[in-house]
A and B are shown apart, each in its own frame.
Chain A
Amino acid sequence: NAGVTQTPKFQVLKTGQSMTLQCAQDMNHEYMSWYRQDPGMGLRLIHYSVGAGITDQGEVPNGYNVSRSTTEDFPLRLLSAAPSQTSVYFCASSPSGSNNSPLHFGNGTRLTVT
């Protein structure tokens, strides 16, 4: 199993550009989520999904969209990039929708917005 795969690993955007961060998992996990990690701050939840067709907002959802058309994929869309979105983004999954199961993380996408 590859686990959780994120692409790309690195991305540079100009302010106002849009892009999609890809996330795929091959563990048949129901729960998937997106976090951002910034220096001096803990991981913060952006959006999550408890199953195909179901998504909801986390702690910091503004400026981001998600969709979950399949169990395997959970892309994160930046609608109009801003410098404040410069961060490292992690996708994570777990078998249980109740989120008290440990999370399996991808290796992240480092995004810089200039």
Chain B
Amino acid sequence: EDQVTQSPEALRLQEGESSSLNCSYTVSGLRGLFWYRQDPGKGPEFLFTLYSAGEEKEKERLKATLTKKESFLHITAPKPEDSATYLCAALGGGFQKLVFGTGTRLLVSP
């Protein structure tokens, strides 16, 4: 069964304290690994898509990487405005087989 597991469930950082969020996936025939950011009371907002192992993408303080079993979202020198829930989702080989993880709640304190 296709599965996506995110860790940790919650992460508290001080401003400037870099860290990484993990997304482990077991999906047959991965066609894409997506990262979204979700603010309270809002819908998820797209950040990155990764398609193959070894691929990396960056946006401001965020960098997403992909291996054959997991993806990492690295946050460098975070700011309080980076506080949000980060979701990852894996798209498998079957049509409409997009599986979401439960997310990591990130809180960055000033």
- Residue numbers in B under 8 Å from A107 (CB-CB): 41-43
Contact partner, A102, options B31, B34, B42, B103, Cβ 8 Å: B34
Interface stretch, picked from A11-19, A38-46, A62-70, A71-79, is: A38-46
Q: In the complex, which residue of chain B has the Cβ closest to the Cβ of A90?
A: B43
Q: Are A42 and B4 in contact (CB under 8 A)?
A: yes
Considering the complex, which residues of chain A in the window 11-45 have a beta carbon less than 8 Å from any beta carbon of chain B? 40-45
A-B contact count (CB 8 A): 51
- Cα distance, A100 to B51, chains bound together (Å): 10
Interface stretch, picked from B14-22, B69-77, B91-99, is: B91-99
Considering the complex, which residues of chain A in the window 69-112 have a beta carbon less than 8 Å from any beta carbon of chain B? 90, 92, 98-100, 102-108
Interface size counted on chain B using CB atoms at 8 A: 23
Q: Are B43 and A106 in contact (CB under 8 A)?
A: yes
Known contacts: A102-B46, A103-B46. The answer to whether A43 contacts B96 by CB under 8 A is no
- Residue numbers in B under 8 Å from A40 (CB-CB): 102
B32, B36, B46 — which one has the most chain A CB atoms within 10 A of its CB?
B46
- Residue numbers in B under 8 Å from A44 (CB-CB): 100
Output the least CB separation between A26 and chain B (Å). Answer: 15
- Cα distance, A58 to B87, chains bound together (Å): 20
5 contacts between A and B (CB under 8 A): A42-B103, A99-B95, A100-B31, A102-B34, A105-B43
Q: Which residues of B approach A to under 8 Å, CB–CB? A: 4, 31-32, 34, 36, 41-46, 49, 87, 89, 91, 95-96, 98-103
